[in-house]
Structures are given as C-alpha cells and as structure tokens.
Amino acid sequence: MTEKTDLTTRKESMLEKRQEIRRAIPLVDIYENDEEILLYADMPGIAKDSITINVDNGKLEISGIRKLQITGTASWQEFGDIEYRRVFSVPQSIDVNKVNAELKEGVLKLHLPKTEAAKPRTIQISAL
C-alpha cells in the first residue's frame, strides 16, 4: 500500500473519537494613553457573534468559541474548534458605559475609555 492510500483508507475497526473543544489563551497587547486603555487580542478565525466581553467590578473577561464548518469525513485533523478565554484586572476608573470593540481579520480591538476624573489635567497657577 502506498503512503497516500494509507492516509485515506478508513478502517471499520477504528473507533470514532469524540473531539473536545480545545482551550487557548489569546495573545494580547495592551497600550495606555491619557484617554483610554487599548487592548488587542489575537483570536484568529472567530466570528464577532461568538465573542463575549464582560467588564464588571474591576475584571475584564474576553471569551469566544471558534467553530469550523466541516464537510466530509476527516482523514487527518489537527485544526478544529477552539475556545478563547482571558481575564484581566482593570482599574475602577474605566467608563464601562463607553467601552467599545471592533473585530478585524481575527484581531479584537477593545477600547476602554477612562472616566473624566481619571484623566490627567493641567492645573493653572494664578498670580496674586
């Protein structure tokens, strides 16, 4: 038998193996400026409807599941469904009502704006 037919031959005696969803921690870059904290999370292949973002009581949780649309019988499978999940502590100075997110080419961009009280300001000195 050739190597090619070995890979494509399916033996009836092989037991079907139920595949569990693998878990992964998305790689993240975090930047901060005077106005906001900006977070980039690498979540390749995920759809925006599959992502959940929660900010509550000083915690930020990002999670989502990438589901692949599979047709046919797999001869070899290394790339499948995956669950992304990451939790961070965030300062209480985040304006939760103004948090927004964008997803482009598998990268989640999360804007965490600071409250006005948390933004630095310059104090004017008056001369007497």
Domains and CATH numbers, the chain: 20-68+79-116 (2.60.40.790)
Query: Alpha helices of 1-128 — where are they, by DSSP H?
Result: 3-8
Q: Please, which pLDDT band fits residue 7 given cuts at 50, 70 and 90?
A: low
Model pTM score: 0.73
Residue 112 has pLDDT above 80, yes or no: yes
What pLDDT is recorded for position 13? 47
User: What does the pLDDT look like over 12-44, one tens digit per residue?
Assistant: 445 555 567 889 999 999 999 989 999 999 999
Report the pLDDT averaged over residues 78-86. 89
CB 66 within 8 A of CB 50: yes
Residue 63 has pLDDT above 90, yes or no: yes
User: What does the pLDDT look like over 93-104, one tens digit per residue?
Assistant: 899 999 999 999
Residue 73 has pLDDT above 90, yes or no: no
Residue 62 has pLDDT above 90, yes or no: yes
Phi, psi of 97 (to 5 degrees): -70, -15
What tokens does 80 get? 């499948």
